[in-house]
Amino acid sequence: QVQLVESGGGLVQAGGSLRLSCAASGSIESIHAMGWFRQAPGKQRELVAHTSSGGSTNYADSVKGRFTISRDNAKNTGYLQMNALKPEDTAVYYCTADVTIVKSDSERARYFDVWGQGTLVTVSP
């Protein structure tokens, strides 16, 4: 199967930076789209950033100009660089991906909407 594991969360002061990583493990053949969502306490999960298989990106208006999504296909890893963090960025951040895995020499399987377990980002005033 396939797993996504996020890392890089933590406590940072407002104005600081963090880089989140999302590592995919398993018999990965390719990662297509990848995205980052977040969920703050008492709020719904929201899309933060997304990158398509073709490399196009889009961002929530609240993070445009501050966050950058990227990926290293050779490492099966995605990243979210977060700069100029604000207290309102405090949330659990989740990565999600659309992945093709190798099941055998002749069989592939595509998994849509694979999710990681989340990593907590806390931004203090």
pLDDT of amino acid 13? 98
- Is the Cβ–Cβ distance between 76 and 27 less than 8 Å? no
- Cβ-based neighbour number of residue 74 at 10 Å: 6
What gap in Å lies between CA 30 and CA 48, rounded to an integer?
22
User: From the first residue on, what is the mean pLDDT of each consecutive set of 10 residues in the chain (125 residues)?
Assistant: 94 98 93 96 96 94 97 94 98 96 91 94 97
pLDDT of amino acid 119? 97
Compute the half-sphere exposure of residue 120: CA atoms within 13 Å on the CB side of its CA: 5
pLDDT of amino acid 93? 98
- Is the Cβ–Cβ distance between 57 and 74 less than 8 Å? no
Q: 66 Cβ partners below 8 Å, 6+ apart?
A: 82, 83, 84, 85
